[in-house]
Amino acid sequence: MAQMDLMAAERQAAILERVRRNGRVLANELAIEFETSEDTIRRALRELAERGLCKRVYGGALAISTGSEAIAVRNAENTDRKAALGTALAGLVTKGQFVFIDGGTTNLAAARKIPKHFGLTVATQDPAIAAVLATREDVTLILIGGQIKPHLGSAVGVEATRQMMDLRPDLLLLGLCAMDPKTGVWAFDAEDAAFKQCLVKNSRQTVTAALNEKLDASAPFRVCPVKSITVLIVEPDAPRGAIKPFVDRGIHVKKAKRLG
């Protein structure tokens, strides 16, 4: 048993080295390289992701972006794909609702597409999202305060959570780092995960959107089970194999429309 554990640890170390060197790895390629099953590789990637060492995505894993510039990097990445998801998210909003828009670049895209003249009250802890809506006379805007975490670009922590406890949104647009059909929604930051847990608990309905690489993925800190999500928006080309497990668990999965 000890020898098997040692082999598994050595294999994980080698896999992690490839993730960091290449930025991305595929489970099927690693299975061939290490002469083992894809299930074994997926288990190794899942364990590495749970330790915060990589980001599980559909079919493999990605290196984790760190540092205070991470939000700026994310803002510049996959803008067209996020715009499609954001447009679909905004389409779920109905007149007169109290909507909480969680922080994140996909939700920033959603904020830009919030329908006009709907008589909405919108709350957010993300200054960038607040800036998009601040001049909208048809929106009553609530900005949740507290310390801004540079790598998130939004306020989380004790003060933000305390303020959120007094709110009861009709609809939550939840941001996510990863989503697994069996274990739920995950985040890379502990305080962010705790704040999101409060959001889900206090909101009447929770919807979210995920890029393809965030499906069947994991991160270190759990936010909520899959059953907490009412609607999941996915990309137009989301793989059927990645979507089906969520549908099987009763989640309403909607594909975003291609833009342009």
The CATH number that applies at residue 28 is: 1.10.10.10
Domain presence at residue 143: yes
Is it the case that residue 202 has pLDDT exceeding 70? yes
Same domain for 207 and 98: yes
Final residue of a structural domain among 12, 35, 62: 62
- Give dist(CA 72, CA 249) in Å, integer: 35
User: What is the chain's length?
Assistant: 260
57 and 160 fall within a common domain: no
Same domain, 88 and 20: no
Are residues 25 and 150 located together in one domain of the fold? no
Whether 260 is covered by a domain: the verdict is no
CATH code: domain of residue 159 = 3.40.50.1360
Same domain, 153 and 174: yes
Judgement on whether residues 52 and 78 belong to the same structural domain of the protein: no
- Give one word for 67, left, alpha or beta, with left for phi > 0 and alpha for psi -120 to 50: left
- Of 32-36, 99-103, 232-236, the one with minimum mean pLDDT is 32-36
**Could you list the residue range(s) of the whole structural domain that residue 188 is in?**
71-255
**117 shares its domain with 204:** yes
* pLDDT over 60 (residue 236): yes
Specify whether 9 is located in the same domain as 78.
no
Same-domain check for residues 101 and 29: no
Domain contains 142: yes
Find out whether 199 and 171 touch, Cβ atoms under 8 Å.
Answer: no
Across 198-210, average pLDDT: 98
Number of structural domains (the chain) is 2
Q: Domain boundary at 15, 34, 62, which? A: 62
Nearest to 70 by CA among 178, 160, 154, 193: 154
Q: At what angle do helices 38-50 and 2-22 cross, to 10 degrees?
A: 80
Q: How many Å apart are CA 186 and CA 88, to the nearest integer?
A: 21
Q: Are residues 115 and 46 in the same domain?
A: no
Last residue of a domain, one of 40, 62, 84: 62
Q: How confident is the model at residue 153 (pLDDT cuts 50, 70, 90)?
A: confident
Sheet holding 184-187, edge to edge: 178-180, 184-187, 221-224
Q: Is 83 among the domain residues?
A: yes
Model confidence, pTM: 0.77
The answer to whether residue 84 sits within a structural domain is yes
What's the pLDDT band for 230 if we cut at 50, 70, 90?
Answer: very high
